[in-house]
């Protein structure tokens, strides 16, 4: 019985599916991106200005929102969105199955994250579980559009309307994702985005808050820049969370090809779906019905009991076959030591996902052959380790 990647290779005569590793991510910076950044650098006007304003306007239109405010990163975007919508001491429903920032910025606001379980099929927040966890102090719900899949927005909005909750969506991984044909920016009180290098679009570091509420947009802009309403008039306490014009120029240039890059991600995902469909024990990702996925990540699930090895050993074998892969995330956010003083909720789906999901390459820089290699390597490893 094979027990390690080397055994698996020996079993197959020692020849990996690919000698050249298929990369998990590729950060694409084109000459146009570089030229756009250099033009700002040469202008000498580096701080937030005209490029940021143009980036905001185009980003709002592309995501279906009325307003957009650029900022330093996706964590700042969450902080800027939470600040006007949540009060210290509030309870805020939030997914356990997400990146830490969705929850940690609730704590940074002085509020308490109430972790909710994930939907076992789409991995986004389970609205029914969230409703069961509402307390008398619950005022808001934060929901992540995870891996590029919109959460079940109909169910979240219905819950929020029924229980009088504010809604903040974390779309750090879901630029251009849609719900019933509309951009995810069209829904909720505020939506936040990240432009970290591995995201579907990057500005180096960067973030955005979109909203359809003009008052909230004003509040976010004020908070982003030390509560300033006129030069050196500070009406409230704020931060410096601004985006530079160098970053915004890169973002604008990247927006020119985001649509095309998203279509490429989707085409790669469809090819992976087809490759995985006949493999017993592997489950392809899917968005809730009504949502269109943008495949920031392609998370394959290993069905319980289908393999003789655990997910980490499976991943090791896949790497030995020449396919890079990654675990997002090795532990559920509610299990992070940082939240150790919060009551431990029982969240079995999130805990199971931490053991069974494995992300494989899907980015737009892959060739058709590389996508095929991912499918072939998954099939080979799955067959060798089938229970």
Ligand X SMILES: Cc1ncc(COP(=O)(O)O)c(C=O)c1O
Binding ligand X (rule: CB under 6 A), the pick from 97, 99, 187, 314 is 99
CA angle 49, 53, 59 (to 5 degrees): 145
Q: Check the CA dihedral 9-11-15-20 and report its sign.
A: negative
Contact 130, 108 (CB under 8 A): no
Nearer to ligand X, 207 or 281 (CB): 207
Nearer to ligand X, 150 or 322 (CB): 150
Q: Is 295 in the site for ligand X (CB under 6 A)?
A: no
Name the one residue in this structure whose structure tokens are 């000459």.
Answer: 31
Contact 334, 353 (CB under 8 A): no
Q: Is 152 in the site for ligand X (CB under 6 A)?
A: no
Nearer to ligand X, 102 or 211 (CB): 102
- Using CB under 6 A as the binding criterion, the count of chain residues that bind ligand X stands at 14
Q: Is 170 in the site for ligand X (CB under 6 A)?
A: yes
Nearer to ligand X, 207 or 238 (CB): 207
Binding ligand X (rule: CB under 6 A), the pick from 144, 152, 254, 262 is 144
134 φ/ψ sector (left φ>0, alpha ψ -120 to 50, else beta): beta
Rounded CA separation 143/93 (Å): 8
Tokens coding 63: 């995501």
Binding ligand X (rule: CB under 6 A), the pick from 48, 79, 102, 122 is 102
Question: By CB under 6 A, which span of 58-66, 157-165, 167-175, 339-347 interacts with ligand X?
Answer: 167-175
Question: Interface residues for ligand X in 36-75 (CB under 6 A)?
Answer: 73-75
Phi and psi for 245 in degrees, rounded to 5? -70, -25
Q: Is 82 in the site for ligand X (CB under 6 A)?
A: no
Rounded CA separation 224/151 (Å): 27
Beta strand pairing status for 178-179 and 182-183?
antiparallel
Q: Is 101 in the site for ligand X (CB under 6 A)?
A: yes
Rounded CA separation 8/317 (Å): 7
Contact 50, 195 (CB under 8 A): no
Q: Is 194 in the site for ligand X (CB under 6 A)?
A: yes
Nearer to ligand X, 75 or 200 (CB): 75
Contact 162, 300 (CB under 8 A): no
Site string for ligand X, 255-294 (x = CB under 6 A): ----------------------------------------
Nearer to ligand X, 64 or 74 (CB): 74
Binding ligand X (rule: CB under 6 A), the pick from 9, 159, 172, 287 is 172
Nearer to ligand X, 91 or 170 (CB): 170
Binding ligand X (rule: CB under 6 A), the pick from 79, 98, 202, 210 is 98
Neighbours of 3 (CB within 10 A): 11
Question: By CB under 6 A, which span of 121-129, 168-176, 210-218, 278-286 interacts with ligand X?
Answer: 168-176
Phi and psi for 258 in degrees, rounded to 5? -65, -40
Nearer to ligand X, 103 or 381 (CB): 103
Contact 224, 72 (CB under 8 A): no
DSSP run (H or E) holding 70? strand 67-71
Rounded CA separation 213/247 (Å): 25
Q: Is 104 in the site for ligand X (CB under 6 A)?
A: no
CA angle 27, 288, 325 (to 5 degrees): 35
Please give the DSSP secondary-structure letter assigned to residue 241: -
Instruction: State in angstroms the smallest separation of the CB of 251 from ligand X.
Output: 13
Binding ligand X (rule: CB under 6 A), the pick from 196, 295, 314, 339 is 196
Question: Interface residues for ligand X in 318-357 (CB under 6 A)?
Answer: none
Nearer to ligand X, 127 or 207 (CB): 207
Which residues are at the interface with ligand X (CB under 6 A)? 73-75, 98-99, 101-102, 144, 170, 172-173, 194, 196, 207
């Amino acid at each position: 019985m094979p027990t390690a990647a080397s055994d698996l290779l020996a079993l197959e005569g020692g020849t990996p599916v690919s000698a050249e590793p298929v990369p998990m991510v590729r950060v694409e910076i084109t000459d146009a991106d570089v030229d756009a950044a250099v033009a700002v650098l040469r202008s000498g006007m580096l701080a937030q200005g005209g490029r940021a304003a143009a980036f905001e306007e185009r980003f709002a239109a592309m995501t279906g929102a009325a307003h957009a405010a650029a900022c330093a990163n996706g964590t700042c975007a969450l902080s800027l969105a939470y600040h006007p919508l949540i009060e210290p001491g509030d309870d805020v429903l939030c997914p356990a199955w997400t990146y830490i920032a969705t929850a940690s910025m609730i704590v940074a606001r002085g509020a308490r994250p109430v972790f909710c379980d994930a939907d076992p099929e789409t991995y986004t927040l389970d609205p029914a579980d969230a409703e069961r966890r509402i307390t008398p102090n619950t005022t808001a719900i934060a929901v992540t559009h995870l891996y590029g899949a919109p959460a079940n927005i109909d169910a979240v909005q219905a819950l929020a309307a029924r229980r009088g909750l504010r809604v903040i969506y974390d779309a750090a991984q879901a630029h251009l994702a849609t719900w019933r044909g509309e951009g995810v920016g069209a829904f909720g009180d505020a939506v936040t985005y990240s432009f970290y290098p591995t995201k579907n679009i990057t500005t180096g570091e960067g973030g955005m808050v979109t909203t359809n509420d003009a008052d909230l947009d004003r509040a976010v802009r004020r908070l982003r820049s030390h509560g300033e309403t006129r030069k050196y008039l500070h009406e409230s306490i704020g931060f410096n969370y601004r985006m530079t014009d160098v970053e915004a120029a890169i973002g604008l240039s990247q927006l020119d090809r985001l649509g095309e890059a998203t279509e490429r991600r989707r085409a790669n995902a469809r090819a992976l779906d087809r490759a995985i469909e006949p493999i017993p024990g592997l489950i392809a990702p899917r968005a809730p019905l009504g949502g269109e996925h943008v495949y920031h990540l392609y998370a394959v699930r290993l069905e319980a009991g289908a393999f003789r090895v655990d997910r980490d050993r499976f991943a090791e074998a896949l790497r030995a076959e020449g396919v890079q892969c990654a675990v997002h995330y090795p532990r559920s956010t509610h299990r992070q030591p940082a939240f150790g003083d919060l009551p431990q909720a029982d969240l079995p789906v999130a805990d199971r996902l931490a053991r069974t999901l494995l992300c494989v390459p899907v980015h737009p820089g892959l060739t058709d052959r590389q996508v095929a290699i991912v499918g072939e390597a998954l099939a080979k490893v799955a067959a060798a380790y089938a229970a």
